Structure 1
Amino acid sequence: MAYTHFRYVGYQVPTVGLGPGAENYLKIPPGNMPDLTGISQEAAGIINNVTNADARCRLARMYLVLMQAYQAIQTSDNNGTLKVFLAPEFYFRPYVEPGAQGLPAYSYEDYQSLKTGLISLKNLPLFNDWLIIPGTIVWQNTGPAGKRPFTGSVFYNTVVCSLSDNEHIVNEKTEASEVDGIPAASNAPFTVNPAYYSTWRKQRKHIFNFMGINCGIEICLEHSLGILKNQYGFFRRWFYSTPPISLHLLIAGGMNIINPLIATIPEGYILRTDGMKRGTQVELRNKNVPAANIIASTIAGIPASLQLPDPGCRPGYFFAQELHIYNPLPLAQ
């Protein structure tokens, strides 16, 4: 099916808190496991197969929020409209009590289990016309992990995107920032190995085609580094058949849109969702439109049973949890 329009659905949910201390960034606890009564047996099985309890709880909540969005628009959209769902950076980051032992990162085995769950839920038939970006997964591994090079004890901040039943992409954030809650790249033996993740072979995956629509994705700090715009320029120089980017997807934890670094064609759009309280959390706009003229959305509150608990954030750093549902807009290609 050729898509003519897209509809942005932004999941506004805090994923980075700020505590009472100076620059005391807080992780957000997963809350109670949502009640899965009434969902399909297949979806329940996928969720319950996730090995880590924290990840399982967050996945269950995301699925129910997705279902809320699906039910809100299913009668108004046809299969010519691509639905684009974005959750913010750090949505899948395990909670560690302040001062407690342990690291805010899943194991490689738990990451693999969660990745399988995310891909399986996206591939359910009701999400055929949905591009789902489920935020990022923070995980840690000692030793080889898939095709990644062995560099000792490594942290990853990863986004998984299912493109079809048989294809998905994995992008790792190029380098960590202080908000990531993991040791900085310079603090060996912990490293996110920025030299490797800055190579074109890794960064080329920031540009992908979803059902005929060329998209680009950045994780927070990558936007200020111009990762996507620079990578697209590289492709245009060396691979002349590279189609223009229609949708620029920015998932963040404290990163505003920087107009000169938007990588779309003039008629394209940038979609942003942010898990940290710095102005607007969910945003959709054309690259040529001033920030003051952002497109308005319909806001749907999320039931209390599906909301994440406040870990004790400073006032203003734990904001409303809601869905921002935008009207369909023509796709520029």
Structure 2
Amino acid sequence: MPQQPKPYEHRTYTHLQLIAWEHFTNDATKPGDEPKVNPTRPDEDANKPPVAIFDEKMAVDERIRLKRLYAIVELAREKLKNTDSSKTLKIFMTPEFTFRPWKDASSKAKDDGIGKGNTYTREAMTRIISKLRELFSHENYRDWLFVPGTILWSEPVKTEKSTILGSKLVDDYAFFNTAIMFKGGAVNAPFTCIHKHAVSDSDKVDASKSAEKNILFKDLLAKKDDPKFSMIGHNVLDTDGLRFGLEVCLDHGAKILKNAVMRDYFVKQKGEGPCVDVHLLVACNKAVEPANFALYEDGYFMRVDGDLGVAKMATQMARGYGLLPYKSSSIFRCVPKNEMPPEYAEAARKAQQAKDASEGKPAKNYQDPEEYLGELPVVNDRPIYLSHLDEKGQTLLDPAWVEKPTGALETWAPEGTQRLVAYKPQPFTPVKLQLP
């Protein structure tokens, strides 16, 4: 008799572990070969056999991408089976645009869940979210938190178009870029979803079609500083005594989590301290901005980026900080000022000297850090300091293991652009601050 899912129960964790599926999401990719996996769930009638989660009636594009993500998670779970602990919360993250459909110009595209502008339909988006929750509600994932990138989808709308004879309403669309974050292991485990605000040309979308710019969705996607903003608390998920904050790409640069969510919502409305325990970022070509971390000391910042150029980088410049280690996924820890590695600033000084030499300028020693670093940003009168080192001085960025997916798990991706990376578990004690 199949085991029925258990309800969500509070768990206590001593360690956090980032597991990142690094893959290319700059542009739409073909769904690729279908992985040979067939996950099931218990039937509502406990006397009946398990029910397959996927069937042939489901649209091909979304079914293949969902199966691939499930198979990647199972690959990670298999790799962890000899070292895993129920006291370690696994945080599985994938880049922005993980769910972006392949271009399909056929008249049958909408029936297959693909809408205008190379987006999923609302119905397809709903199915994807439903299936993700269903896939990972099994007890095997009770100690996992899932952040499976974003889903690019659209809603049909009417827009006004000027003609020689006047104006008329024409069929159009507005797109959303939606991220979800949820705890695994139970059908009623904590869950939230957020919609990205900022749009970039590098997103390979028509920015004028963003739902952010459409008056029809004003109540749902109001400006981040609007006190009536209905989604403002959704960037935060509380589970198991931990508070997670999530941003999507350019929203990190706009301080959506730190200012709009943590200050305006949790401070002003709930009387709670403006911090999260773990700040998460899913992106496709977004530099880390430490001044925008919604963290206090000992909190963690974790990210994964789907830009192909980022995968080839070793460092990034952060104003006021210096050259930070940079790759497709990473972890940083918030620390006291005296624990921020001096190598960040020193690397920036040497880079500036090299730049001067290449431009034929006289050699300069640069005694004043602001000459080559810029001024350290101070947001809300509180500077942020970070480190890629743990308390023992060991780097957080050396993976525990790296796996390169093969077979149907790699055929869709440009060669050499994806890895499954598990970082070492990090000790952690949550911080909860109540305001007086």
1:205 to 200, 213, 234: 234
How many Å separate the matches in 2 of 1:271 and 1:188? 28
How many Å separate the matches in 1 of 2:80 and 2:100? 29
How many Å separate the matches in 2 of 1:296 and 1:233? 34
How far is 1:156 from its partner? Answer: 0.7
2:146 to 115, 119, 132: 132
How many Å separate the matches in 1 of 2:134 and 2:409? 21
Task: Report the equivalent of 1:11.
Answer: 21
Q: Which amino acid aligns with 1:41?
A: T
How far is 1:263 from its partner? Answer: 1.1
**Larger relative contact order (C-alpha < 8 A, sep ≥ 6)?**
1
Q: Structure 1 residues 63 and 197, CA, compared in 2 at 3 Å: closer, same or farther?
A: farther
Q: Which amino acid aligns with 1:196?
A: A
How far is 1:188 from its partner? Answer: 9.3
Is 2:90 the partner of 1:83? Answer: yes
Task: Report the equivalent of 1:241.
Answer: 272
Aligned partners of 2:246 and 2:280 also within 8 Å: yes
Q: CA offsets, 1:255-290, max 9 Å, x none? A: 121111111221011111011122311111113334
Q: Which amino acid aligns with 1:9?
A: I
How far is 1:207 from its partner? Answer: 1.3
Aligned partners of 1:92 and 1:137 also within 8 Å: yes
Task: Report the equivalent of 1:196.
Answer: 222
TM-score, normalised by the number of residues in structure 2: 0.64
How many Å separate the matches in 2 of 1:207 and 1:49? 36
1:182 to 190, 199, 205: 205
Task: Report the equivalent of 2:428.
Answer: 331
Question: SS where residue 119 of structure 2 aligns?
Answer: coil
Segments of structure 2 that go 5 or more residues without pairing to the other structure are 1-10, 42-49, 110-115, 159-171, 314-326, 335-384, 390-394, 431-436
How far is 1:153 from its partner? Answer: 3.0
Question: SS where residue 207 of structure 2 aligns?
Answer: coil
Is 2:324 the partner of 1:295? Answer: no
Aligned partners of 1:153 and 1:190 also within 8 Å: no
Q: Structure 1 residues 291 and 104, CA, compared in 2 at 3 Å: closer, same or farther?
A: farther
Q: Which amino acid aligns with 2:397?
A: I
TM-score, normalised by the number of residues in structure 1: 0.83
Segments of structure 1 that go 5 or more residues without pairing to the other structure are 17-25, 145-151, 312-317
How far is 1:238 from its partner? Answer: 3.6
CA RMSD of aligned residues (A): 2.9
Q: Structure 1 residues 283 and 50, CA, compared in 2 at 3 Å: closer, same or farther?
A: farther
What percentage of residue pairs aligned between the two structures are identical? Answer: 25
Aligned partners of 2:280 and 2:301 also within 8 Å: yes
Q: Structure 1 residues 184 and 97, CA, compared in 2 at 3 Å: closer, same or farther?
A: same
Is 2:109 the partner of 1:95? Answer: no
Aligned residues: 308
Question: SS where residue 106 of structure 1 aligns?
Answer: strand
Segment drifting more, 54-63 vs 182-191: 182-191
Aligned partners of 2:396 and 2:424 also within 8 Å: no
Segment drifting more, 54-63 vs 180-189: 180-189
Question: SS where residue 265 of structure 1 aligns?
Answer: strand
How far is 1:190 from its partner? Answer: 7.5
How far is 1:180 from its partner? Answer: 2.8
Is 2:250 the partner of 1:221? Answer: yes
Question: SS where residue 103 of structure 2 aligns?
Answer: coil
Task: Report the equivalent of 2:407.
Answer: 304
